Chain A
Amino acid sequence: AQTVTQSQPEMSVQEAETVTLSCTYDTSESNYYLFWYKQPPSRQMILVIRQEAYKQQNATENRFSVNFQKAAKSFSLKISDSQLGDTAMYFCAFVQGGSEKLVFGKGMKLTVNP
């Protein structure tokens, strides 16, 4: 069974700094997708970034980028120029290609301080 591990339960960072959130996963499949979702205090789950396993190039969305290390089964999220609005729970998630189910990590609480 696939598993997703977020080993850091909580982090805090100063506004404008860069922070990296770690995520590792376990799968024997070669076709899969990885996601980072953000859940702010409103509790709305928001897609931050998506990575296809077959793509070697790391996904980037504005201030958010990932470091996808397929061999190491690592998928970290880097947030540059942190903003107060980045304060949220961040969930790493995995889905096997063709499968319906998202497998979530336990989440990590990020606090951006002014």
Chain B
Amino acid sequence: GAVVSQHPSWVICKSGTSVKIECRSLDFQATTMFWYRQFPKQSLMLMATSNEGSKATYEQGVEKDKFLINHASLTLSTLTVTSAHPEDSSFYICSAKSASGGTDTQYFGPGTRLTVL
């Protein structure tokens, strides 16, 4: 149980284009999903927290107009990197927290490697 998928696993795009990354909880409902960014050999940096049916909460320094997050259902959240630039190249990881009470555990997706040329 507690499987989270991400799609695509890797993507290469041209500078100025937009890229959408999907995060799905496959066998549980997630009221809350999280988006992280990880630079090489570093820890995970939380970008935003998204709750189903409401606007995402962004961490300080993360541009909400650049990183659009939508959490339309209890099993799907999307991150859209708008007008991507080479500095947006990174590894993006989502996680989901179960809607069932009594747990504070986040389950992670396999990550998406974004390369912007």
Contact = CB atoms under 8 A, between A and B. Distances in A.
B107 interface: yes
Contacts of A16: none
B44 interface: yes
Given A47-B107, A95-B104, A106-B42, 16 more contacts: A33-B104, A42-B110, A43-B38, A43-B93, A43-B111, A44-B111, A47-B105, A47-B108, A50-B105, A91-B44, A99-B104, A100-B49, A101-B46, A101-B49, A102-B34, A105-B43
Report the contact-size class of chain A (Cβ under 8 Å from the partner): 20 to 34
Which of A44, A46, A91, A105 has the most C-beta atoms of chain B within 10 angstroms of its own C-beta?
Answer: A44
Interface of B: 32, 34, 38, 42-44, 46, 49, 91, 93, 95, 97, 104-108, 110-111
A91 B95 contact: no
Interface string A19-33: 000000000000001
Contacts of A11: none
Contacts of A107: 42-43
Contacts of A42: 110
Contacts of B110: 42-44
B107 A104 contact: no
A37 B95 CA distance: 13
Contacts of A45: 44, 93, 95, 108, 111
Interface in A94-114: 95, 97, 99-102, 104-107
Complex A-B, nearest 5 residue pairs according to Cβ-Cβ distance, in ascending order: A45-B108, A104-B43, A44-B110, A33-B104, A43-B111
Contacts, number: 46
Main secondary structure of the interface of B (DSSP, over half): strand
A35 interface: yes
Contacts of B43: 91, 104-107
A66 to B, nearest CB: 15
B3 to A, nearest CB: 11
A107 B45 CA distance: 12
A60 B44 CA distance: 25
A46 B110 CA distance: 9
5 contacts: A35-B105, A43-B111, A45-B93, A45-B111, A95-B104
